[in-house]
A and B are shown apart, each in its own frame.
Chain A
Amino acid sequence: MSPETTAPDSLAVQARGIGKVFPTASADVTALTDVDLEVAAGEFVSLIGPSGCGKSTLLRLIADLDVATTGELQIFGKPAQQARVDQDYGIAFQQAGLLPWRTVAGNIALPLELHGTVKSSRDARVRELADLVGLSDFIDRYPDQLSGGMQQRVAIARALAARPRLLLMDEPFGALDEMTREYLQSELTRIAAETGAAVVFVTHSIPEAVFLSDRVVVMSPRPGRITEIVPIGLGSTRGEGLRESPAYFERVTAVREALHGAKVERANER
């Protein structure tokens, strides 16, 4: 983790001592406790852990969809609410969340339309983004005419529409089949590298986390907390060949060990 030598607004996310408690009918639920995390600009960070570890809660706090009970949270040097109002981030959820009455173009344009971008620049940007995610031929289709993978690509394009410096993604590939998943993972690293955006990516999948990230944040539940942060360091270009490399497998093992909290015995080492 970087010390305080980095200037605060070059840090996409700076979380210090973050805690979140949900009051319920019976007792209070501690979703997060004592979370310290820093995400540098342009860095790709995954949050991984079993159900209840608070990874989605942390993402929602960063997005200002919820307010932390304790601690400090700064997005590009500002409070989370200000970052949201300034539209510094784009978000993609597990369900694509496309508005069914808008075409692909209409959906991608939504954030631009809401913030008053002129129609001509809107249309140009929409075409650019549709190209980026490979959906130029489907720009006038409606969501119910698209497959799950295509809908998710539209959601990613929409998240990028306002050129955010930070992308927040909550298991966006969770509902897709494995082949589509791997394809979209490659696309996502390419897009992240091209746009230079920082990414905070919540996932259940260890291979996915390792393939995509610069660092993997391992969390555990009851109470939700960070147990370990595993550096990946597999380079900034992630091609398909990476999935077969020994370095990749070694990092996958490292993350798995961090998740299980113990060394994992490898099959061919017996």
Chain B
Amino acid sequence: MNRTGMRGRVEGLGWGILGVLAIVLLWEGYKFLGPADGVTIGAVEGQTGSGFMILPRTHDRAMPHVWDMLARLVAPTSGGDTPPLIATVAIAALTTLGIAAVGWVLGVAVGGALALVMQRWQLLEWGLLPWIVVSQTVPLIAFAPVINAIGNQIDRGGTSWPQWLSVAVIASYLAFFPVAIGALRGLEAPDRIHVDLMRTYAVGYWSTLRHLRLPAAVPHLLPALRLAAANAVLGVVVAEVSIGMRGGIGRMLIQLAGQASSDPAAPWGPIFGSVALGLIAAGSVALIGVGLHRYRRGEATA
């Protein structure tokens, strides 16, 4: 279904818009037709709060209309003279994006270095790869306070280490994994016959790396970089919340959700912001692939 080229992209965008519209229709449709108290299974008569709710209440306070959400975006953030919500969201999103970018660069560097080392020496691949895979089962939030504490220590010791840098390091933990795996797969991708060919040319490791392994790795590396960007964004949002960092979109998500009973449409602002954030991050990385067409001939779309 994946067609390359401009036409394919415009078509994809068109379908995407249709899809979003379909979701909006579902939302409003449920609001219109659904039961006012939502759908609860296993509720006991007379016992409020029992049972398990699987569909939410259709009340405007629980489920604001889509147009209310949009209207809220242009209304002032905290009433009065404060800038519109959309501006506050944008600034918070940009802050998060910036930190995510730093985290991404760190993650790509570490992941790439690990992949190179693992491809070169099989002993290291066997020793490190299982731990790299397992590393992602450790929840990020376990490390967040530790890294933050170490960062504070460094900062107090003299070298400047702002809090956002700790957040970036935490985000890089999520970002390095897809790069390590994808780059390793890509570096090992060349056929035996190409490796033999390079051997007949009596060129060493670095020349083979430059002329064979790196070009062959491109189609594996690009989706990995995209995934790393999405992971970096996620990492920053989670780290912001667990450290309690101000200024990013993570804090905003929780803050506004806490006020949702008085201002039900407001929490959707930072949610839209997060969506945009993820899309922009992935899109920016996709730009890297532009101009690398030569290396993607015969690439199977992931």
Q: Are A144 and B298 in contact (CB under 8 A)?
A: yes
List of B residues within 8 angstroms of A142 by Cβ = 294, 297
Q: Are B196 and A99 in contact (CB under 8 A)?
A: no
Against B, the Cβ 8 Å flags (1 = close, 0 = not) of A90-111 are: 1101010101111000000011
Q: Are B202 and A87 in contact (CB under 8 A)?
A: yes
Q: Are B193 and A101 in contact (CB under 8 A)?
A: no
Bound: A84/B295 CA distance, A: 29
List of A residues within 8 angstroms of B156 by Cβ = none
Interface centre among B196, B197, B218 (most CB of A within 10 A): B197
B45 at the binding interface (Cβ < 8 Å): no
Bound: A113/B211 CA distance, A: 10
Bound: A101/B298 CA distance, A: 9
List of B residues within 8 angstroms of A64 by Cβ = 199-200
Set B193, B202, B218: member contacting A85, Cβ < 8 A: B202
A20 to B: closest C-beta gap in Å: 16
Bound: A102/B193 CA distance, A: 16
Set A87, A90, A97, A113: member contacting B193, Cβ < 8 A: A97
Residue of A nearest to B210 (CB): A114
List of A residues within 8 angstroms of B218 by Cβ = 101
Bin the interface of chain A by size. Answer: 20 to 34
Bound: A25/B196 CA distance, A: 24
List of A residues within 8 angstroms of B193 by Cβ = 93, 95, 97
Residue of B nearest to A97 (CB): B193
A63 at the binding interface (Cβ < 8 Å): yes
Against B, the Cβ 8 Å flags (1 = close, 0 = not) of A206-230 are: 0000000000000000000000000
Q: Are B196 and A65 in contact (CB under 8 A)?
A: yes
Set A89, A91, A113: member contacting B197, Cβ < 8 A: A91
List of B residues within 8 angstroms of A89 by Cβ = 200
B278 to A: closest C-beta gap in Å: 30
Q: Are B201 and A114 in contact (CB under 8 A)?
A: yes
B181 to A: closest C-beta gap in Å: 22
Q: Are B215 and A114 in contact (CB under 8 A)?
A: no
B212 at the binding interface (Cβ < 8 Å): yes
Q: Are A101 and B196 in contact (CB under 8 A)?
A: no
List of A residues within 8 angstroms of B91 by Cβ = none
Bound: A111/B207 CA distance, A: 11
A60 to B: closest C-beta gap in Å: 8
Q: Are A91 and B191 in contact (CB under 8 A)?
A: no
Q: Are B201 and A87 in contact (CB under 8 A)?
A: yes
Q: Are B194 and A99 in contact (CB under 8 A)?
A: yes
B286 at the binding interface (Cβ < 8 Å): no
Bound: A166/B114 CA distance, A: 40
9 new A-B contacts, CB < 8 A, other than A95-B191, A110-B211, are A65-B196, A65-B199, A87-B201, A87-B202, A93-B196, A97-B196, A111-B201, A114-B207, A144-B298
Question: 8 closest A-B pairs (Cβ-Cβ)?
Answer: A97-B193, A85-B202, A101-B294, A101-B295, A91-B200, A101-B215, A114-B201, A84-B202
A-B residue pairs in contact (CB < 8 Å), sample of 30: A63-B200, A64-B199, A64-B200, A65-B200, A84-B200, A84-B202, A85-B202, A87-B202, A89-B200, A90-B200, A93-B193, A95-B191, A95-B193, A97-B191, A97-B193, A97-B194, A97-B196, A97-B197, A99-B194, A99-B212, A100-B298, A101-B215, A101-B294, A101-B295, A101-B297, A102-B294, A110-B201, A111-B201, A113-B211, A114-B201
